[in-house]
Structure 1
Amino acid sequence: MELTYLQTFREIVKWGSYTRAAEQLGYAQSSVTTQIQRLEASYGAVLFERYGRTMRLTMAGEALLPYASEMLRLHAESKEVVSKQSAGALTIGTIETLAAFFLPPYLQAYRRDYPEMKVNLQPGNEPFIIEAVKEGTMDVGLILDPPLADPELHTVVVRKEELVIAAHPDHRLGGLAAAQVRDLAGESLILTEEGCTYRAMLLRALKEEGVEHQLSYEFGNLEAIKQCVVYGLGVALLPRIVVEEELRNGRLKAVPFSHPSCEFYTQLIYSRKKWMSAAFRDFIALMRGGRGEASKMHE
């Protein structure tokens, strides 16, 4: 049995489609079909069943998936061990906020030290990233969350992120030193997409305190949210790093959001089973701010 078959198997699981898997892998669909047939023959079991327009794992497929992921992980690890360890690939799962407004300077520094490393950024929300890191489909995750404690993961707390209520410069909230939940009464809210942890925190706080509000807009794009706020269509809860440029040019005002649950940190996560190459260790050290910095790591 070839590892190629297991890689194809995992791609079909990811995309739910032989066609999409073939496109991603650069194979003809007939080749993908043949590989899965040979894999099924090797195990003596059917691995996929059609469910509507998608392919779904059978019970046998579900049983194989974690073994396939582990075998592919070990194969990648062995290749890195016997190579010079300065080339390879690093897959980072992260949310849009951090990919756009936090990560680029770190990637620039990492590229300087490891020009042969291929860095692949994969977007997602925090629950998806956490699960992908555990499964080994992502090497590391960069999340914005309350402090995470998980027995399967190492968590590096990089820094605390201030959350603010972003508003038009003439908005009444702009004169406050800090915004409380009750200050949002009657406001038109512009929200990030579902799955965003600070969105969930805000909605929970509004519900707990019985604050009436209007959910006017919802976007999966931060630039769209900021533009709506600039045009006075409502206010939005955002990390301060997202609106730094608009604050400098006076297009927005930002008021710190004050609430007991508003404790959010940029955190780097990776599996406790992850093999640490020199390139990987140096990436972790870079994100921690260097070996001498007082970054906190939960072991």
Structure 2
Amino acid sequence: MEIRQLKTFITIVKLGSFSQTAQFLGYTQSTVTTHIQLLEKELDTALFERFGHQLMLTTDGERLYDYAEQIAKLADDAKNEFDNFQVPRGPIVIGMPESLCVYYLTDVLKEYSSLYPDVGLKLQLGIASEFRTLLRKNMMDLAFCLEKNIRDADLVGQLLWPEPIVMVASPKHTLAKQKQVKVKDLQGQTFVFTDSGSNYRMALEEILIKADVQARTVLEIGQIQTIKQFVISNLGIAILPLVVVKEEIEAGLLTALRWQGADLKTNAYLVYHKDKWHSHAIRAFIKLVQERLLKRVDPE
């Protein structure tokens, strides 16, 4: 029975999927399957069973899980005890939206990697709702989020800077010629949105619902660069952080609409679980972020 096999087992239980576990741990799916088969062979029992598409622990699997968590924690504690505390090392899992990664964090990540080459940075792009789940399962150490505020009782949010949000369209779009764009003007428009779950997208959708304004079409695209190209081609309107579209606005490829509706602004936060133990690697990362990116702002 090996620690890595037990950690694979724990991760499957938390994520509920062999394929997601393989992706998260950086293994092939066959490696994940082999780890479980070896455990089952050694213990002479089945650890999982399937009901349709649902993966469930057997009774013996539930018994092993309690031991596996204790063993994994003891192994991590022992490693931390004997690490060289003067030099940050080990892995850090960090979640971040694509916009923050590309436009704000590249230089910080490069500097951190140069300062602490023994730390393995694992970055996961996504949205705040996904990060919250992983932080609560202790499968992510830190996350950057674009939120108006962080009010979760079990999460700590370090406010970094205010992030303006703009509504953009092609200069050829009919709304680009208007001196003011109000909620009613969005009736029947096509929107090009990021993945559902982004804070500023949900804010606009709430505004539209309250005003009983309906979009003609919603195009949901995960890649910001693709969204910008769609809007430049006059396929719809988008709302994005200003930093993402600043160059295109200055170049005349996009127009910032003169939005007169409710404020869509948001803030950038560095978030972690209140009970998370901070290794020296995590502390060093937080310190560098605060030194390079923290601005003196007050949340509303």
Alignment-mate amino acid for residue 16 of structure 1: S
Alignment-mate amino acid for residue 95 of structure 1: P
Measure how far apart 1:242 and its partner are.
Answer: 1.5
Alignment-mate amino acid for residue 289 of structure 2: M
Change (3 A) 1:249 1:143: same
Change (3 A) 1:291 1:102: closer
Alignment of 1:125-164 (within 5 A): 125-164=127-166
Alignment of 1:1-299 (within 5 A): 2-13=2-13, 14=15, 16-17=17-18, 21=22, 24-25=26-27, 27=31, 29-38=33-42, 47-52=47-52, 55-58=55-58, 68=68, 72=72, 75-84=75-84, 85-174=87-176, 179-255=181-257, 257=259, 259-260=261-262, 262-289=264-291, 294=296
Change (3 A) 1:37 1:50: farther
SS in 2 for 1:211: coil
Alignment-mate amino acid for residue 133 of structure 2: E
Measure how far apart 1:33 and its partner are.
Answer: 0.9
CA distance in 1, matches of 2:184, 2:69: 48
Measure how far apart 1:285 and its partner are.
Answer: 2.0
Question: Runs of 5+ in structure 1 lacking a partner?
Answer: none
Do 2:18 and 2:32's aligned partners in 1 also have CA atoms closer than 8 Å?
no
Alignment-mate amino acid for residue 38 of structure 2: T
SS in 2 for 1:202: helix
Q: Could you list the per-position Cα deviations for residues 258-290 of structure 1 after superposition, in whole angstroms to 9, with x for gaps in the alignment?
A: 554624211111122222233321211222236
Q: Could you list the per-position Cα deviations for residues 83-133 of structure 1 after superposition, in whole angstroms to 9, with x for gaps in the alignment?
A: 124221111012222222222122122123212211111123211111111
Change (3 A) 1:148 1:278: same
State the number of aligned residues: 293
SS in 2 for 1:93: strand
Change (3 A) 1:18 1:220: closer
Alignment-mate amino acid for residue 52 of structure 2: G
Change (3 A) 1:109 1:50: same
RMSD between aligned alpha carbons? 3.3
Alignment-mate amino acid for residue 190 of structure 1: V
Change (3 A) 1:114 1:39: farther
CA distance in 1, matches of 2:219, 2:286: 37
SS in 2 for 1:102: helix
Change (3 A) 1:30 1:86: closer
Measure how far apart 1:293 and its partner are.
Answer: 5.7
Q: Could you list the per-position Cα deviations for residues 155-199 of structure 1 after superposition, in whole angstroms to 9, with x for gaps in the alignment?
A: 111111111111112334335676443332332211222222322
Change (3 A) 1:222 1:271: same
TM-score between the two structures when normalised by the length of structure 1: 0.82
TM-score between the two structures when normalised by the length of structure 2: 0.82
CA distance in 2, matches of 1:112, 1:59: 47
Measure how far apart 1:64 and its partner are.
Answer: 6.7
CA distance in 2, matches of 1:146, 1:19: 30
Measure how far apart 1:39 and its partner are.
Answer: 5.8
Measure how far apart 1:15 and its partner are.
Answer: 6.2
